[in-house]
Amino acid sequence: MKTFYVTTPIYYANSLPHLGHLYTMIVADTIARSKRQQGIDTLFLTGTDEHGINIERAAQKAGRTPKEQADYVVNYYKKMTAEFGLDGEHGGYDIFMRTTEPFHYEGVSEFWRRVAKAKTPKGNSAIYKGHYEGWFCAACAAYKTEDEYRKPKTEGAAPTCLIHDTALDRISEDSYFFRLSDYDQALLSLYENRPDFVRPESRNNEVISFVRGGLQDLSVSRPRTSVSWGVPVPDDPDHTMYVWFEALTNYITAIGFGNEERERAFGFEKYWPALHLVGKDILRFHAVYWPAFLLAAGVELPRAIVAHGMWVDPSGRKMSKTIGNIVELDVLSRHFPVDAIRYFSLREMVFGQDGRFGYEALIDRANSDLASGLGNLSSRTLTMISRYCEGRIPSGHIPEEKLLLAKRTGVDTDETTIAGFIEHARDQFLQHFESFAFSRALEVAWSVVARVDKMITDAKPWDLAKDENQKQTLNAVLYRAAESLRWLCVLLYPVMPGASRDISSQLGLSDSSVTTDPAQLKWGALKEGQPIDEIKPIFPRIDKAKTMAEINQGTEPTAIHATEADAVTRAATQADTKPAPPMKHALEADAVAGAEGITSFIEIGDFAKVDLRVGEVLSAERVPKADKLLLMKIDIGEEQPRQVLAGIAQYYEPEKLVGRKVVVVANLKPRKLRGFESQGMVVAASIGEEGRPVIATFAEDVPNGARLK
């Protein structure tokens, strides 16, 4: 069986991840899913880079040991990758690598020994001991030459890193060196013989000119007295390996290099070489240093180094803590569905170039391409099948005797026209995908959405439905739309696994239908007569003003939506990624507006039965012997405040609630809880698996007692 191995860089465990880190994982996850779809045995590796001075310093600052610091960051990664559907449980990565694991120490020591024994192409020892004198950036974990730093304004001060703007460390110490300078010719012939080794091409040229400019030997250790948090140099424990030497090696130690148990569990022999996905900022380490180390150790070179660009803010500025423009994962996950984030990242960034990230742009794309585009196509097609075809996939065949009639309506009687269009689009899509041009691939997929939309609009099924003689024409149009949707689900699965599964299951197809090889798709495989499933809107329309206000004020999204148009939800059956956060708590009843013909619509009068009032918390206290309950007095504009009990004590400090505006269900039948009467209910969103409550509130000033309609 064919195998494929894709890796992300391992992330520094000094700080929590942001959009930039998430992006590399999304791309790797997308590639892995696409390979799996093709039936290739695929391994996807991610993880954390836990050693080095930078982590030591971050730990010190936070009052933790380096290991505690790493554990803290890893816990966050695990939580976030689960929330974003990127972990193993959701069909994402297979290995979360940690460089502090013993097997890594073993593997990397073996690797060092091999390099230390090796001769360079020019016949010298690949590793030698010397003295290093120069500047080092802890944040880059890299030595800096004169053209890589900014000279200090005052004499005697340290220069600053051009990337991080932080002061460099002066280093003057004994160290082991890797004789990189002997590898220039070997590397240049590698790039020449394998033009696909570094991708995209522009990056390849960058690497070639760097190597042509001449290579200096690389210091690959620090004295233990300077850096103790790392892997000791084999047979010389007074030195710690340079963190990049050790970190790069994770790609092979993770799957079994130098450790038999690991080899049995995963298989270096089986999966290596890998495709390394990296940001352009760390290209040199991967495309120059890493192949040179591997050449020295006599290990096969990677399959390819694929470099993406950086996310910058809407004004083109680099994301930085100082500017405060970092896109935090908590915010993203709180306000946006996973598939919208995945779609936006892959559609908006032209792979290899920098991309601008703005919440407004994300909302616009989600609303236009997803809610109004694919989501609408899916819901209108399914709704019409439900309405006009008794909820079963109709026949796509127009019998001979009806062809003339059909022609008169303007409907193309030749099914192969649309089939040919979509086949051609599929081929183009796959071609772009193979060359990492995700944005172009998605453009092609959306040309299919537009084409099918137009086919429906031109055919006017609602008119055809009025004429019994046009029944077969109507059926054919709807069959074509449904079959196109099935194709789209398969094509889009690697990008939007959750939504693809949802649409596919609404079409009545099994879970595995989206994971079939798109190259094997055959027009017409959708079975006539198959019942469709319950229809639920796939993509929520995001209320831009409201979401932007919530993001800017740092508040949680609210569960109750003021307008009917908002009241759509993602299918609760979503298997691969978490449901859209703002909609998660939606009651069954508010789950369905926006699509025709769904039986569980409610009338506006039903909604009006719920008396929702603005309230102000006057007091809040814990209920003795009830861990979860808070007892609140809430002013909802009546003579007496209401006494309301809420199961939120594990998440809210009572004191902090006082003075807060909340939404109260005022006409809920009173009931007793733990001996106290509860005269209403506070509305909250329910977040995550554990259903963390987040109380609904208002961005603007509202009087107590105001009614929500």
In the complex, the residues that contact ligand MSP under the rule CB under 6 A are 9-12, 20-21, 23-24, 49, 247-248, 250, 278-279, 281-282, 310-311, 319
Nearer to ligand MSP, 48 or 577 (CB): 48
* Other residues' Cβ atoms within 10 Å of the Cβ of residue 185: 11
The answer to whether 656 touches 623, Cβ cutoff 8 Å, is no
DSSP-derived secondary structure for 298-328? T-PPPSEEEEE--EE-TTSPBP-TTTT---B
Among 258, 239, 236, 240, CA closest to 249: 258
Place of tokens 């789209």: 488
Among 708, 704, 576, CA closest to 637: 704
Tokens of 369: 């391409």
In eight-state DSSP terms, residue 153 is S
Nearer to ligand MSP, 185 or 320 (CB): 320
Angle CA 48–54–56, to nearest 5: 90
For the bound state, the minimum distance from the C-beta of residue 49 to ligand MSP, rounded and expressed in Å, comes to: 3
Bond preceding residue 582 cis, omega within 30 of 0 = no
For the bound state, the minimum distance from the C-beta of residue 129 to ligand MSP, rounded and expressed in Å, comes to: 25
In eight-state DSSP terms, residue 514 is G
Nearer to ligand MSP, 7 or 678 (CB): 7
For the bound state, the minimum distance from the C-beta of residue 463 to ligand MSP, rounded and expressed in Å, comes to: 50
For the bound state, the minimum distance from the C-beta of residue 245 to ligand MSP, rounded and expressed in Å, comes to: 10
Nearer to ligand MSP, 49 or 502 (CB): 49
Tell how strand 275-279 and strand 3-12 pair up: parallel
Residue 219, beta-bridge partner list: 177
Nearer to ligand MSP, 150 or 317 (CB): 317
3-class DSSP assignment, residue 409 = coil
Residue 322 CA to residue 324 CA, distance in Å, equals 5
Nearer to ligand MSP, 278 or 598 (CB): 278
Using only the alpha carbons of the chain, give its radius of gyration.
Answer: 29
Nearer to ligand MSP, 247 or 592 (CB): 247
Hey, what amino acid is at 602? I
For the bound state, the minimum distance from the C-beta of residue 244 to ligand MSP, rounded and expressed in Å, comes to: 7
Q: What is the dihedral of CA 379, 382, 383, 388, to 10 degrees?
A: 160
For the bound state, the minimum distance from the C-beta of residue 697 to ligand MSP, rounded and expressed in Å, comes to: 32
Query: 53-70 burial by CB neighbour count: b if 16+ within 10 A, else e?
Result: bbbbbbbeeeeeebeebb
For the bound state, the minimum distance from the C-beta of residue 256 to ligand MSP, rounded and expressed in Å, comes to: 17
For the bound state, the minimum distance from the C-beta of residue 98 to ligand MSP, rounded and expressed in Å, comes to: 12
For the bound state, the minimum distance from the C-beta of residue 490 to ligand MSP, rounded and expressed in Å, comes to: 29
Nearer to ligand MSP, 245 or 493 (CB): 245
Nearer to ligand MSP, 219 or 250 (CB): 250
Backbone angles phi, psi at 34, to 5 degrees: -65, -40
Tokens of 556: 């949680």
The H or E element containing residue 344 is helix 338-348
Nearer to ligand MSP, 323 or 450 (CB): 323
Hey, what amino acid is at 709? K
Residue 23 CA to residue 10 CA, distance in Å, equals 13
* Other residues' Cβ atoms within 10 Å of the Cβ of residue 360: 12
For the bound state, the minimum distance from the C-beta of residue 11 to ligand MSP, rounded and expressed in Å, comes to: 4
Residue 309 CA to residue 27 CA, distance in Å, equals 12
Residues 6+ apart with CB under 8 A from 594: 379, 537, 541, 565, 567, 568
Residues 6+ apart with CB under 8 A from 228: 56, 240
For the bound state, the minimum distance from the C-beta of residue 315 to ligand MSP, rounded and expressed in Å, comes to: 14
Residues 6+ apart with CB under 8 A from 463: none
For the bound state, the minimum distance from the C-beta of residue 68 to ligand MSP, rounded and expressed in Å, comes to: 19
Nearer to ligand MSP, 281 or 621 (CB): 281
Residue 701 CA to residue 705 CA, distance in Å, equals 12
Residue 219 CA to residue 140 CA, distance in Å, equals 14
Tokens of 174: 């004994």
Nearer to ligand MSP, 303 or 451 (CB): 303
Hey, what amino acid is at 512? S
Tokens of 447: 């040309």
Residue nearest to ligand MSP (CB): 279
Nearer to ligand MSP, 160 or 504 (CB): 160
Query: 425-434 burial by CB neighbour count: b if 16+ within 10 A, else e?
Result: bbebbbebbe
For the bound state, the minimum distance from the C-beta of residue 43 to ligand MSP, rounded and expressed in Å, comes to: 16
For the bound state, the minimum distance from the C-beta of residue 64 to ligand MSP, rounded and expressed in Å, comes to: 18
Nearer to ligand MSP, 20 or 230 (CB): 20
